[in-house]
Amino acid sequence: MLFRHSIAGLSLASIALASPLQHQARQDASPCAQVSASVAAQASAATPTVPAQLAYECITSVPVNKSAALELLDTIVPYWRWQSTTAWLKDPPAEYVEKVQEAVDVWGGLDDIRSKLEGDEYENEFEFGWALYRLMQTTHDGHFVFVPDVIGTVFNWARTVPLVSISEDGEELPKAYAYPDVLAASLGNSSFTPSAISKIDGKDANDWLENWAQYGSLQDRDALYNNVFYELAVVSLGSSGAGMGTFTGGGRGRWVYPGPTTELEFENGTTTTLNNYAKVLVPFDGVTDGESLYKIWFTSTKPTGVTAEPAATATSTSIPAPGYPPPVIRASNNFIGGYYMEDDYSDIAVLSVPSFSSAALGNLSFPDIAAQFLSLAKAAGKKKLIVDVSANGGGIILQGYDLYKQLFPKLTGYAAADRFRAFEETDLLGQKFSAISETIPRTLDTDNETLFDLIANVVSSPLNYQSDETVDGEPFPDWPAKFGPLHQHDDNYTNLFRWNLSDVLTPLNSGGLYIHGYGPLANYTEQPFETEDIVVVTDGYCASTCTIFSELMRQRANVKYISLGGRSRSGITQAVGGVKGTNNWPWDYIQFNAQYTISNLSTPEEGAEYNSTQLGEYWSTVPFDRLAIGSSINVNFRDGIRDGDETNTPLQFVYEESDCRILYTKEMTVDVTAMWKAVADTTWGGKSHCVAGGLGDYGKRMTKRDLTWSEKELSKRRQQWKRSLSIGDYPMNVFTDLRRASLDGNAIMYP
Ligand SMILES: *[C@@H]1O[C@H](CO)[C@@H](O)[C@H](O)[C@H]1NC(C)=O
Ligand SMILES: *[C@@H]1O[C@H](CO)[C@@H](O)[C@H](O)[C@H]1NC(C)=O
Ligand SMILES: *[C@@H]1O[C@H](CO)[C@@H](O)[C@H](O)[C@H]1NC(C)=O
Ligand SMILES: *[C@@H]1O[C@H](CO)[C@@H](O)[C@H](O)[C@H]1NC(C)=O
Ligand SMILES: *[C@@H]1O[C@H](CO)[C@@H](O)[C@H](O)[C@H]1NC(C)=O
Ligand SMILES: *[C@@H]1O[C@H](CO)[C@@H](O)[C@H](O)[C@H]1NC(C)=O
Ligand SMILES: *[C@@H]1O[C@H](CO)[C@@H](O)[C@H](O)[C@H]1NC(C)=O
Ligand SMILES: *[C@@H]1O[C@H](CO)[C@@H](O)[C@H](O)[C@H]1NC(C)=O
Ligand SMILES: *[C@@H]1O[C@H](CO)[C@@H](O)[C@H](O)[C@H]1NC(C)=O
Ligand SMILES: *[C@@H]1O[C@H](CO)[C@@H](O)[C@H](O)[C@H]1NC(C)=O
C-alpha cells in the first residue's frame, strides 16, 4: 500500500477503517470475538488489521493466570543471572544518569512484579506481561530482552502515517513532519509546502516524541529519537529492521499500545486524527473471549506451524532500498553495499553497512563484498571513503573485527577487552569445557563427526580458557586464570580477555570466515585508504557489533565520527547509541550449554551432581513456551571494557560525544546521497555542516579534477536516477517481522 497523496488523503487509514463497522454491528460480542469476526471477514488479507482500541480491549480481557505467571518469573531467573550489567544498571555512573538513562534495579523490579502478582494487583495478563517487558526494556540494553507472549504473539500495534524530523536549512532545530507531506513536496506538487507538526495529542510535539522515543531499545536519547522516524537506512533492511520507525509501530514500537487515535496538530492550525490500528498476527480460530485466547496462544500447547513463515534468505529475496542510488555492489538484502559519488564528489566511495549480520550476494559473503568494493574503489581511483553505519544493530562479532582489519590491516586488532559474570554456572561450565578441551586437538581438520561436534560446541567456546588470550596477548594457563573472579562494583566478573584473532577455530565463531590480516589471510597488509580519507557517519542506531567496530575505528584508528539528527535540542550528540555489550547469548543457547553438560558431557553420577547445583535450573520449557512468537530472547553476556580503563566500566555506561553533529534536511530523507554530500563537504570540502562539534583540519581537501569517461557516465546515470524518483518508490508498508527476517549474529540487537 503506497501513499500517493499528502496527508490529507490518508489512504493508509483505510486499512484500519474497514473494521469499526463490524465493531458496531457486534457490540454485544466480547472484544476478542469481535476481533475473530473481523479476521474472518478479511480472509484475503495477508495480515488482517483491527482498530487499536479493539485489539487492546481484547488483549486486556485475558485474565491473569497467577500460578502460570509466577512459574514464568521463577524460570526466567536463571537466565537473568547471565546478564552482565545488572549491578551497573542499579548503580550507573553519574554521567550516564545525567545524559543517557536512569538507573534500573532489575532484581528489585522482579521482586515488585512478584509481590504484585501475589497480591492480585494485576487486573489482567497483559498488565502483568507489560510490567515484565517494560522492566527489561527500560534498561535500554538492546541485548536484554524477553517479550512475553501476551505482548507480542497476537497483535502488533501501529499508526498510519510515518513521520520525519528535519531541519529547515540544516541549522535550525529540527521539526517533525508527516513523511507523505515531505514526499509530496519533494517529488510531487512542488508548490505544496508541508506544515510542521506542532502538537501530538494536545502536547508539544517535541516533548511527546521524546517521551515516545523512550519505548525504544537503544540507550542514547538522540538515537532513540531518530528511531521514531522514517529513515532510508532502516527501511532498506525491510522486515529485518525497525520498519518505518517506532511511531508507526516499527521496531519496539510494535509492542506499545498507541491509544485509539493519534491527533496531529500542524503549525498551520489544521488538525488531523489518525485511527491507530493493530495487525493481527495469529489465526483467531476458536477464540471467543479472553479465556480462550489464553488457552490457545499463551500455553505450551499453542498451535504449531504459525512460526513457519518462509524466512527471506539472503540470496533469494531482493528488497528495495528507496532513496539509495544504483550501487556498484550490494547484497540483495542491502546489509552491505558500495556506491560511488558523482561530479565534484567523484573522489568519494561510500561503503554502506546497515548490518553486520551474514549476508550473501550470489556467492559472495559479507566480507567478500567489502573486500571487492574496496579493491574496485581503489582501482577506480577513489581517494576517500565514507562508511555509513546508520541503522546497524550489529551481527557477527568477527565481521566487525574483519571490516576494521580490512581498512587498517597494520593496526592492533583490539581496542577493548571482554569479560562476563563469574558465578556458579559459568564456573562449572568453564571447568568442564576446559577439561574436555585439554583432551582434544584444536583443529578443524577432522572427519570424525563426534569430534567435530565437540570442537564446535565445547572447544571453540569462550567457556574454554584456550579460546581467548589475556590482555597481554598471552594464553591463559588454565580455567581459574580466566575465571578469576574479580569482585568489582558489587558483582563478580571474570578476568579480562580478548579474542584470539589468529585462532584456527575462528570460522566456527565467524560464520565461516578468517579475519583479514590473520591466519590464512595474514598476507593482507595494504591499507586501502589513509585515516584522514575515511569518515564514519551514523544515525546513533549503532549497536552491538557496530559498537565493537566503532570502538576499533575511533580508539585505534582515530577515524572521525559524524552523528546525524537527534532530538530538537542544540548541542552535540553521541555517534554510537546502541548496546555496547560485546556478545549476546540467546536463552536457548544457555539452556543448551547447561543441559548438554549434564546429559552429554558427564557420567550419570556427575550429571546428577551438576543437577543439584544452579546448573540444574535450566530444564523448564516455560520461558520458551511463553515467549512471543518471532521475538528474540537474549541476555548481554559480555561487557566491553576499554583498553586501559582502570575503572573497568562497561562501555555500555560510557558517554562519548561524536566529533560532529549534522541535522537531517528534507532532501536527506528522500535521497541518501544528499546526506553523504553533507558528510563529504564537512570532512573534505571545507564546508562544515556541523551544528555542534567539528572536524577541524582532519581531512585533506577534495581537489577539482577532470572526470574519467566512466565517472561522466555515472554522473549522467545519477541524474537520471534522481529524475526518476517518485513517491511510489517509498514503501509505506515496511514492518519489523522477525518471523520473516533472516538475521544472525552473536552480537546483535534484534529490532
Ligand atoms: C493456569 O496455569 C496453570 C499452569 O501453571 C494451568 O495448569 C492452568 O490450567 C491455567 N489456568 C487456566 C484457567 O488456564
Ligand atoms: C499543488 O499545491 C497547491 C498548494 O497546496 C494547490 O493549490 C494546487 O492545487 C496543487 N496542485 C495540484 C495539481 O495538485
Ligand atoms: C496544513 O498542513 C497540513 C500538513 O502539511 C496539510 O495537510 C494541510 O492541508 C494544511 N492545511 C491548510 C489549510 O493548508
Ligand atoms: C561466483 O559466481 C559468478 C557468477 O555466477 C561466477 O562467475 C564466479 O566464478 C563465482 N565465483 C566463485 C568464487 O565461485
Ligand atoms: C571420534 O571422536 C570421538 C571423540 O573424541 C572418539 O571417542 C571416537 O573414538 C572417534 N572415532 C573414530 C572413528 O576415530
Ligand atoms: C561474589 O562472590 C562472593 C564469593 O566469591 C560471594 O560471596 C558473593 O555473593 C558474590 N556476589 C554476587 C553479586 O554474586
Ligand atoms: C592463537 O591461536 C593460534 C592458532 O590456533 C595459536 O597458535 C596461538 O598460540 C593462540 N594464541 C594465544 C595467545 O593463545
Ligand atoms: C593472500 O593469499 C591468498 C591465498 O592464500 C590469495 O588468494 C590472495 O590473493 C593473497 N592476497 C594478497 C593480498 O596477496
Ligand atoms: C545429548 O544426549 C541426548 C540424549 O542422550 C541426545 O538425544 C542428544 O542428541 C545429545 N545432544 C547432542 C547435542 O549431542
Ligand atoms: C536433572 O533434573 C531434572 C529435573 O529437575 C530431570 O528431569 C533430569 O532427568 C535430571 N537429569 C539428570 C541427569 O539427573
Query: What's the CA-to-centroid distance between 184 and ligand 2, angstroms?
Result: 10
Q: How many other CB atoms sit within 10 Å of the CB of residue 85?
A: 26
For ligand 8, atom 3: residue with the closest CA: 521
pLDDT at 17 exceeding the cut of 50? no
Q: What is the mean pLDDT of residues 514-518?
A: 97
pLDDT at 1 exceeding the cut of 60? no
Asked which of 601, 619, 651 is the last residue of a domain, the reply is 651
- Burial code (b: 16+ CB inside 10 Å, e: under 16) for 204-242 equals ebbebbbebbebbbbbbbbbbbbbbbbbbbbbbbbbbbb
Q: What is the mean pLDDT of residues 415-419?
A: 98
**Nearest ligand to the C-alpha atom of residue 194:** 3
Asked which of 629, 651, 673 is the last residue of a domain, the reply is 651
The closest alpha carbon to 519, from 402, 404, 414, belongs to 402
Which residues sit with their C-beta closer than 6 Å to ligand 5?
448, 450-451
**Is 14 contained in some domain?**
no
Q: Tell me what the pLDDT averaged over the chain comes to.
A: 94
pLDDT at 8 exceeding the cut of 50? no
Query: What's the CA-to-centroid distance between 474 and ligand 7, angstroms?
Result: 8
Q: What is the mean pLDDT of residues 330-346?
A: 96
Q: What is the pLDDT of residue 10?
A: 38
Cα(648)–Cα(357) distance, integer angstroms: 28
Q: Are residues 660 and 698 in the same domain?
A: yes
Q: What is the pLDDT of residue 743?
A: 86
**Nearest ligand to the C-alpha atom of residue 197:** 3
Q: Are residues 574 and 592 in the same domain?
A: no
Q: Are residues 483 and 379 in the same domain?
A: no
Q: What does the chain come to in residues? A: 751
Q: Are residues 391 and 493 in the same domain?
A: no
Query: What range does the domain containing 687 cover?
Result: 329-414+521-580+654-725
SS3 content of the chain, % helix, strand, coil (to 5): 40, 15, 45
Residue 109 in grid coordinates: 523490579
Interhelix angle 587-599/66-80, rounded to 10 degrees, is 80
Q: Are residues 369 and 393 in the same domain?
A: yes
**Is 298 contained in some domain?**
no
Q: What is the pLDDT of residue 306?
A: 58
CATH code for the domain in which residue 695 is found: 3.90.226.10
Cα(285)–Cα(305) distance, integer angstroms: 14
Q: What is the pLDDT of residue 614?
A: 98
pLDDT at 551 exceeding the cut of 80? yes
Contacts of 669 (CB under 8 A, 6+ apart): 164, 166, 179, 182, 230, 231, 232, 323
Contacts of 664 (CB under 8 A, 6+ apart): 164, 165, 166, 167, 174, 564, 565, 675
Furthest CA-CA distance within the chain: 81
Q: What is the pLDDT of residue 80?
A: 98
pLDDT at 568 exceeding the cut of 90? yes
- Burial code (b: 16+ CB inside 10 Å, e: under 16) for 571-600 equals ebbbbbbbbbbbbbbbbebbbebbebbbee
Q: Are residues 426 and 476 in the same domain?
A: yes
Tens digits of per-residue pLDDT, 82-96? Answer: 999 999 999 999 999
**Nearest ligand to the C-alpha atom of residue 294:** 1
Q: How distant is the alpha carbon of residue 430 from its chain centre?
A: 30
Q: Which residue has the cell 571494557?
A: 641
Cβ of 363 less than 6 Å from ligand 4: yes
At 609, is the secondary structure helix, strand, or coil? helix
Is the Cα dihedral 503, 504, 505, 510 positive or negative? Answer: positive
Q: What is the mean pLDDT of residues 208-228?
A: 98
Give the pLDDT band (50/70/90) at residue 278.
very high
Q: What is the mean pLDDT of residues 408-436?
A: 98
**Is 683 contained in some domain?**
yes
**Is 659 contained in some domain?**
yes
Cβ of 504 less than 6 Å from ligand 7: yes
At 23, is the secondary structure helix, strand, or coil? helix
Q: What is the pLDDT of residue 3?
A: 31
Residues 645/471, Cβ–Cβ less than 8 Å: no
* Count of domains forming the chain: 2
Residues 281/629, Cβ–Cβ less than 8 Å: yes
Q: Are residues 421 and 561 in the same domain?
A: no
Residue 490 in grid coordinates: 558489587
Q: How distant is the alpha carbon of residue 699 from its chain centre?
A: 31
Is the Cα dihedral 526, 528, 529, 535 positive or negative? Answer: negative
Q: What is the pLDDT of residue 26?
A: 54
Give the pLDDT band (50/70/90) at residue 12.
very low
**Nearest ligand to the C-alpha atom of residue 452:** 5
Q: How many other CB atoms sit within 10 Å of the CB of residue 707?
A: 15
Query: What's the CA-to-centroid distance between 495 and ligand 6, angstroms?
Result: 15
DSSP state letter for 719: H
Q: Are residues 439 and 532 in the same domain?
A: no
pLDDT at 305 exceeding the cut of 60? no
Asked which of 617, 651, 685 is the last residue of a domain, the reply is 651
For ligand 1, atom 11: residue with the closest CA: 65
Q: Are residues 493 and 544 in the same domain?
A: no
Give me the percent of the chain exceeding a pLDDT of 90. Answer: 90
Cα(446)–Cα(54) distance, integer angstroms: 59
Q: What is the pLDDT of residue 316?
A: 45
Cβ of 616 less than 6 Å from ligand 10: yes
Query: What's the CA-to-centroid distance between 585 and ligand 9, angstroms?
Result: 21
Give the pLDDT band (50/70/90) at residue 211.
very high
**Is 635 contained in some domain?**
yes
- Across 260-274, 304-318, 494-508, least confident range: 304-318
At 645, is the secondary structure helix, strand, or coil? coil
Residues 514/368, Cβ–Cβ less than 8 Å: no
pLDDT at 129 exceeding the cut of 70? yes
Q: What is the pLDDT of residue 244?
A: 98
pLDDT at 245 exceeding the cut of 80? yes
Q: Which amino acid is at 708?
A: T
Cα(391)–Cα(632) distance, integer angstroms: 18
- Across 126-130, 223-227, 417-421, 700-704, least confident range: 700-704
Query: What's the CA-to-centroid distance between 637 and ligand 6, angstroms?
Result: 18
Give the pLDDT band (50/70/90) at residue 18.
very low
Cα(654)–Cα(613) distance, integer angstroms: 35
Q: What is the pLDDT of residue 368?
A: 94
Residues 698/688, Cβ–Cβ less than 8 Å: no
Contacts of 645 (CB under 8 A, 6+ apart): none
Residue 344 in grid coordinates: 565534484
Residue 528 in grid coordinates: 586501502
For ligand 8, atom 7: residue with the closest CA: 521
Q: What is the pLDDT of residue 317?
A: 61
pLDDT at 212 exceeding the cut of 60? yes
**Is 679 contained in some domain?**
yes
Q: Which amino acid is at 558?
A: N
Query: What's the CA-to-centroid distance between 514 and ligand 8, angstroms?
Result: 12
Q: Are residues 486 and 460 in the same domain?
A: yes
Cβ of 608 less than 6 Å from ligand 10: yes
Give the pLDDT band (50/70/90) at residue 293.
very high
Residues 419/651, Cβ–Cβ less than 8 Å: no
Q: How distant is the alpha carbon of residue 645 from its chain centre?
A: 27
Burial class, 16, CB count within 10 angstroms (exposed 0-12 / middle 13-18 / buried 19+)? buried
Q: Are residues 424 and 377 in the same domain?
A: no
Cβ of 621 less than 6 Å from ligand 10: no
For ligand 6, atom 9: residue with the closest CA: 491
Q: What is the pTM of this model?
A: 0.95
Cβ of 266 less than 6 Å from ligand 3: yes
Q: Are residues 395 and 441 in the same domain?
A: no
**Is 702 contained in some domain?**
yes
Cβ of 315 less than 6 Å from ligand 4: no
Q: What is the pLDDT of residue 4?
A: 32
Atom number of ligand 1 nearest to Cα 63: 13
Query: What's the CA-to-centroid distance between 600 and ligand 9, angstroms?
Result: 6
pLDDT at 308 exceeding the cut of 60? no
Residues 142/218, Cβ–Cβ less than 8 Å: yes
Q: How far apart, in Å, are the Cα atoms of 351 and each of 82, 390, 422, 452, 698?
A: 35, 11, 39, 37, 20
The closest alpha carbon to 641, from 547, 559, 574, belongs to 547
Q: How many other CB atoms sit within 10 Å of the CB of residue 199?
A: 17
Interhelix angle 397-407/366-379, rounded to 10 degrees, is 10
Q: What is the pLDDT of residue 14?
A: 39
**CA angle 734–216–727, rounded 5-degree value:** 30
Q: What is the pLDDT of residue 13?
A: 38
Cα(242)–Cα(216) distance, integer angstroms: 10
**Is 462 contained in some domain?**
yes
H-only helix segments in 344-492: 366-379, 397-407, 424-437, 449-454, 479-483
Cβ of 488 less than 6 Å from ligand 6: no
